[in-house]
Structure 1
Amino acid sequence: MRWIIIIYLVCIGHTFGQSEEIAKDYFLRGEFEKALVSYEKLNEKNPRNRNYITKIVEIHQQLEQYNEAEEVLLVEINKFRQPILLVELGFNHSLKGEDLKAKEYYDQAMEILNENPSYAYGIAQSFERHSLLDQAIGVYERAMELNPKLNFNINLARIYGEQGNIEKMFDGYMNFIGQNRTYINNAKRSISGFISEDGQSDNNVLLRKILLKKIQSQPDILWNELLSWLFVQQRDYNKAFSQERAIYKRQKESLQRMVDLAIITINEDRRDVAKSILNYIIENSQNIEVILEAHEYLLDIETKTLESKDYYKIDDAYNDLFNEFGRYNQTLDLQIAYAHFLAFYMDNTEKATSFLKESLNLRLSKLEDGKVKLELGDILAFQEKFNEALIYYTQVQRNIKNSTLAQEARFKVAKTSYYKGDFDWAESQLKILKSSTSQLIANDALDLKLLISDNKFEDSSQTALKTYSKADLLAFQNRTDEAILKLDDLLENHKGETIEDQALLMQAKLYESKLQFDKAALNYQKIIVSYSDDILADDALFNLAEIYSKHLGQPEKAKPLYERIIFDHPDSIYFVEARKTFRALRGDAIN
């Protein structure tokens, strides 16, 4: 019997849900008479659901049946004298042009608020729904006066933003997160839509002044953190660094925020600032892991900065660190980085391999062992000892199954197979990786799979794809000039084939790595002209725009390229950044 009742209730609930969906569908399609009948039936069955009454009133108003709407509301008010209903009745009078009558009911709702501030949110929401924003502001402010424990600053900030009152909006967010620090990231997301990279824009200047005033009147590192964040949005990293130093001096708990800032500056290729930050971390941290991490980043920057004749300085620096901190598990990441430097920059693969095999003699966890073997595999692939490299990658896959490192190892198996021209096996591995839990690996796997599948049938000998994979290998081996020449050969001998746009893109990126921006720009232009409807068009548009705006000092040429991404490629991964940069270049006011 009990199961019969449960099944009956489930069927009734399902039917009821379907009826509500039908009513919503009628309303959205503008079939208001049918929607009215549906909602009236729903209200009869469930009179406690206030949403149905609200919809019935709204439908009458859409049909300009204001008297009928008033009758419905008066019946409900006689049953339940709720302030929300009074607001709805007032709005109905305003639709009839009876503004004085409307104010009378709004005032009645406010009287109930004075008696019970807990009604504030519902009343304000009703006002907001009808775009009566000043009234909504009055409700929130009055409620906080009556009960200081209530905090509607976030609601006020949002309304002020809609009104374009930026100063009050910023104040609202600051007042709210001053009492609710857990909301800081949400506040940043909301504020970011009103600021730009231009530190001199009105909104940026306004927010900076508000934060500086907070720092002076309410000494709290929260405001320094927000000011540092603002400087990062403006790409003013030296000023952000200054704020981070102030934070650390007052609260010497962790330098992780400083490490995060260093990583941002490295990614933005601001090596000068990055080096200053990393040296500060080394000088001030008491945490050996943090110190070693900073040294590793610093050495990586120096490696990319120095000419090859000065690489001995990097070699000495690594060995000084091993003399100071030893070769233990704690310095394993540094050991792996050193082996990579020896192989890929000093071309001393024998020493690199020997060094890493010594690292394997340490008491390593499976994860640590996997990291070492991945690098050993990379060094073997660098030497084009592909079968030996595959052995190490496969060991990692088997030893730490289902981990991100195992997925990375599988991708390296695919990439190595691709380097050696075994495209079928590479493609089979890449199909598995499309569902990788690591989005980065999944994206890389998809890109490589598409490259292979789009080009492996171009000719029976797969000459073009093999030439491309050889160029890719040369780039992996840091033999950039040779890779560029190999791509020249491909572009000369395989004109018009499907791989041409891929070859142009890879070559353009190699030119960029050599700071040959004019040559890179020519390649991107060729893709835009000849392959405007293909998958790489947005890559070419964005990269060319970035070259014009950031390297060649020609922002006017960049603007139409960003604009094309916005209008022609709305699904592009570059869409958000393109829109933001385009608006900044055009000089739009951010609000």
Structure 2
Amino acid sequence: MYLISYMKTLLFSIIIIFSQSIAFGQRTEDASADERLAAQYMREENFEKAVVLYEELFEKNPTPVIYNNYLQCLIELNRYRDAERLVEKQIQDNPGRARFQVDMAYVFDKSGDNRKFRRHTQALIDNLPAHPPSVNDLANAFLFRDYEDLALETYYRGRKMLGNTSAFHLQIASIYSRKGLIDEMMTEYIDLVGIDDSYLENVQGLLQDALNNDPDFQKSDALRRVLLRRSQENPANTLFAEMLLWLSLQQKDFAMALRQARVLDRRMQQDGQLIFEVAKLSASNNVFDISRQAFQLVLEMGDLKPYYLEARIGLLNVNYKQATQGYAVDYDLLREVEKDYVKAIDEMGVRAQTVTLIRNLANLKAFYLDNNRQASELLQTVIDLPNVSNRVKAECRIELADILLLKGDMWDAHLLYAQVDKTFRDDPLAHEARFKNARLSYYMGEFKWAKAQLDVLKAATSRLIANDAMALSILIQDNLEEDGTSEPLQMFARAEMHTFMNKFDKAVKVLDSLQQEFPNHQIQDNVLMAKAKIMIRTGDYHKADDLLIKVTELYGRGLFASQALFERARLYEDVFEENDEAMSLYQKLITEYPGSLYTITARNRFRYLRGDLIN
């Protein structure tokens, strides 16, 4: 009997709870619908309807969003007394909260009562406690209502009360940025690191973010002015000179960076370290003249200095890069570079420190001097060295596979790529080997398998490999037929393989046939760009310019439009020496393709040609 009674009671309780849950859910759903409707009325500026809903919503659930929208509706309807009462209630319920005190000032401001507004805000600032969180709360409350000057006044008073000149620099800099006062923003940042250099890394990160969004160079120019002023005022403190060097490197103004590095290196007795770093960075950005000058300066310090050997190797590698990565391949310079490499290796010996020289010499012999046998022997020599890391040996195996591909030995090249991929699984080196194997399959017309590998590599940790994989995957996807075949794509892949092998005549012949046989195929923008690159490599610059014009005119919204504009601008600057036309092309790129990868470099080149920068 007791059990039956208990079961009835339990069943009744469950029914009651279930009914309450349904009712609560219904109320919540109704409230959400009302809130969405009220927000819609606000967007439509129908404040009369919105305020009715928000008043009901606020009574049931006074969330910050509902409160703020309710207050705004009252102000828009000129119901200032009601707005004051609403804020007064919030102040009573939340004593000490600066947010609602500032909201009262906001109501006074919107009602046009400037006297009350000034008295109220001044009282808030005057009565501010010497307590950093309280200073931040009041300043943030002012910022929420867009009272930036009052927020600044709050921080300056807080700094004075705390007796701490390094307080609130980052917050004040942020407000100056918001107001567009760039010089003042930069002054706050630099003053902070001048007082406490432990903030240097944090400030450099913030400055880098600011400089990345600096289309007219106002921020970088302001930062340079502030740093120069501080450096002149504090000549004994090298921090500001170091930051000037950092800024020049961020702007890729390597000539200025080298001058600064020479002065700093001497003052700080760095034995050429700073100059060597500039040399390496300028080389990696293909600014060969500055890189060569920097390496030479390190060499002139003498062979007992710590960076002498690295500088000698670096100088040889710069000469090699300039001969192979410039415009037309300079075979006379390459033969001179070959002699310099051989001489250096004979003098320094075959050892771990000269591996880079040996590898570059092998690449030079294979890809430019048609000596695959000696190239392979050089790489095998490195692989056989006992004191060379497994990673370096694997890199040599990838290069050896490249040479096998150059010779047309596809299968052995595939095996070597696969070996490195298997040995260094999930390592960036494995990703490089896998990409090259996928590219080999693409050359051979195995498009589906190649694309499957490339799609995996799009998530590679190496940005360069991921980008290359994505580009090749998109090319295959856009031009592959449903049955997995595509004659135009096969022809283009064959042309790219000839280009990889430096067989430019064969590549152009295939590309010409592709244009004739499939004139309306969507791959034609790739064809034009590929031919333009070959013309640049072979020194036919006017033909290259004509092809690049076609890319921009026929495919102005395509993937290659901004790149074609950039290549044209560089031709007019470096080859044709027509700076006015180069400036016009750089400006067109900056204006029409602001999101392009080439835009930052284009801006720098435009400013240099205009005379704003020293190259």
Q: How does 1:232-247 map to 2 (within 5 A)?
A: 232=249, 236-247=253-264
Q: Counterpart of 1:141 in 2: which secondary structure?
A: helix
Offset of residue 136 of structure 1 = 1.6
Inter-partner Cα distance in structure 1 for 2:491 and 2:344: 41
- 1:373 — aligned with what? 397
Alpha-carbon distance change, 140 to 297 in structure 1, aligned in 2, over 3 angstroms:
farther
Q: Which amino acid aligns with 2:179?
A: Q
The equivalent position to 1:181 in structure 2, one of 200, 217, 220, is 200
Alpha-carbon distance change, 542 to 355 in structure 1, aligned in 2, over 3 angstroms:
closer
- 2:9 — aligned with what? none
Offset of residue 374 of structure 1 = 0.3
- 1:61 — aligned with what? 75
Alpha-carbon distance change, 548 to 292 in structure 1, aligned in 2, over 3 angstroms:
closer
Q: Does 1:442 align with 2:466?
A: yes
Moved more, 533-542 or 73-82: 533-542
The equivalent position to 1:157 in structure 2, one of 153, 167, 173, is 173
Work out whether residues 408 and 441 of structure 1, in 8 Å CA contact, stay in contact via their aligned partners in 2.
Answer: yes
Work out whether residues 259 and 294 of structure 1, in 8 Å CA contact, stay in contact via their aligned partners in 2.
Answer: no
Cα RMSD (Å): 4.0
Work out whether residues 276 and 295 of structure 2, in 8 Å CA contact, stay in contact via their aligned partners in 1.
Answer: yes
Q: Which amino acid aligns with 1:186?
A: L
- 1:404 — aligned with what? 428
Q: Counterpart of 1:435 in 2: which secondary structure?
A: coil
Q: Which amino acid aligns with 2:91?
A: I
- 1:46 — aligned with what? none
- 1:215 — aligned with what? 231
The equivalent position to 1:425 in structure 2, one of 449, 453, 468, is 449
Moved more, 397-406 or 516-525: 516-525
Alpha-carbon distance change, 21 to 432 in structure 1, aligned in 2, over 3 angstroms:
farther
Deviation string, structure 1 residues 179-207 (Cα, Å, up to 9, x no partner)? 3212222123325645756xxxx776654
Inter-partner Cα distance in structure 1 for 2:533 and 2:126: 67
Inter-partner Cα distance in structure 1 for 2:116 and 2:611: 46
Work out whether residues 420 and 433 of structure 2, in 8 Å CA contact, stay in contact via their aligned partners in 1.
Answer: yes
Q: Which amino acid aligns with 1:474?
A: H
Alpha-carbon distance change, 279 to 558 in structure 1, aligned in 2, over 3 angstroms:
closer
Q: How does 1:497-576 map to 2 (within 5 A)?
A: 497-514=521-538, 516-544=540-568, 547=571, 552-553=578-579, 554=581, 555-566=583-594, 573=597
Alpha-carbon distance change, 161 to 327 in structure 1, aligned in 2, over 3 angstroms:
same
Alpha-carbon distance change, 546 to 98 in structure 1, aligned in 2, over 3 angstroms:
farther
Inter-partner Cα distance in structure 2 for 1:293 and 1:16: 72
Alpha-carbon distance change, 191 to 383 in structure 1, aligned in 2, over 3 angstroms:
closer
Work out whether residues 495 and 508 of structure 2, in 8 Å CA contact, stay in contact via their aligned partners in 1.
Answer: yes
Q: Counterpart of 2:42 in 1: which secondary structure?
A: coil
Q: Which amino acid aligns with 1:75?
A: K
- 2:3 — aligned with what? none
Work out whether residues 528 and 541 of structure 1, in 8 Å CA contact, stay in contact via their aligned partners in 2.
Answer: yes
Alpha-carbon distance change, 327 to 20 in structure 1, aligned in 2, over 3 angstroms:
farther
Q: Counterpart of 1:113 in 2: which secondary structure?
A: coil
Inter-partner Cα distance in structure 2 for 1:57 and 1:460: 63
Q: Which runs of 5+ in 2 are unaligned?
A: 1-23, 44-49
Deviation string, structure 1 residues 90-141 (Cα, Å, up to 9, x no partner)? 1210110001101111022112215545422121122222222222211111
Alpha-carbon distance change, 26 to 521 in structure 1, aligned in 2, over 3 angstroms:
farther
Deviation string, structure 1 residues 16-69 (Cα, Å, up to 9, x no partner)? 9998998589547726444554455333xxxxx877655553454345432222
The equivalent position to 2:514 in structure 1, one of 461, 470, 490, is 490
Alpha-carbon distance change, 256 to 23 in structure 1, aligned in 2, over 3 angstroms:
farther
Q: Does 1:99 align with 2:117?
A: no
Inter-partner Cα distance in structure 2 for 1:220 and 1:196: 30
Moved more, 548-557 or 145-154: 548-557
Inter-partner Cα distance in structure 2 for 1:22 and 1:394: 62
- 2:360 — aligned with what? 337
- 2:477 — aligned with what? 453
Q: Which amino acid aligns with 2:87?
A: L
Q: Does 1:108 align with 2:123?
A: yes
Moved more, 340-349 or 27-36: 27-36
Offset of residue 280 of structure 1 = 2.9
- 1:72 — aligned with what? 86
Work out whether residues 456 and 465 of structure 1, in 8 Å CA contact, stay in contact via their aligned partners in 2.
Answer: yes
Inter-partner Cα distance in structure 1 for 2:306 and 2:260: 20
Q: Which runs of 5+ in 1 are unaligned?
A: 1-11, 44-48
The equivalent position to 1:190 in structure 2, one of 202, 210, 214, is 210
Q: Percent identity?
A: 25
- 1:129 — aligned with what? 144
Moved more, 414-423 or 271-280: 414-423
Q: Does 1:168 align with 2:187?
A: no
Q: Counterpart of 1:360 in 2: which secondary structure?
A: helix
Q: Which amino acid aligns with 1:42?
A: N
Inter-partner Cα distance in structure 1 for 2:483 and 2:271: 58
- 2:295 — aligned with what? 278
Moved more, 281-290 or 175-184: 281-290
Offset of residue 380 of structure 1 = 0.8
- 2:338 — aligned with what? 315
The equivalent position to 1:30 in structure 2, one of 33, 42, 60, is 42
The equivalent position to 1:362 in structure 2, one of 367, 385, 406, is 385
Inter-partner Cα distance in structure 2 for 1:275 and 1:587: 24
TM-score using structure 1 length: 0.82
Inter-partner Cα distance in structure 1 for 2:498 and 2:424: 30
Q: Which amino acid aligns with 1:275?
A: R
Deviation string, structure 1 residues 546-575 (Cα, Å, up to 9, x no partner)? 656776431335544543334xxx6x5557
The equivalent position to 1:139 in structure 2, one of 149, 154, 171, is 154
Inter-partner Cα distance in structure 1 for 2:457 and 2:318: 33
Alpha-carbon distance change, 533 to 267 in structure 1, aligned in 2, over 3 angstroms:
same
Question: Rg bigger for which structure?
Answer: 2
Moved more, 542-551 or 348-357: 542-551
Q: Which amino acid aligns with 2:383?
A: L
* Paired residue total: 566
- 2:13 — aligned with what? none
Q: Counterpart of 1:210 in 2: which secondary structure?
A: helix
TM-score using structure 2 length: 0.80
Work out whether residues 323 and 334 of structure 2, in 8 Å CA contact, stay in contact via their aligned partners in 1.
Answer: yes
Q: How does 1:9-48 map to 2 (within 5 A)?
A: 23=35, 27=39, 30=42, 32-33=50-51, 34-35=53-54, 37-43=56-62
Moved more, 539-548 or 153-162: 539-548
Offset of residue 387 of structure 1 = 1.2
Offset of residue 87 of structure 1 = 2.0
Offset of residue 399 of structure 1 = 1.1
Alpha-carbon distance change, 522 to 63 in structure 1, aligned in 2, over 3 angstroms:
farther
Q: Which amino acid aligns with 2:152?
A: I
Moved more, 111-120 or 209-218: 111-120
Q: Counterpart of 1:30 in 2: which secondary structure?
A: helix
Q: Counterpart of 2:408 in 1: which secondary structure?
A: coil
Deviation string, structure 1 residues 399-441 (Cα, Å, up to 9, x no partner)? 1111111111111111122223333432332233233232322
Q: Which amino acid aligns with 1:286?
A: P
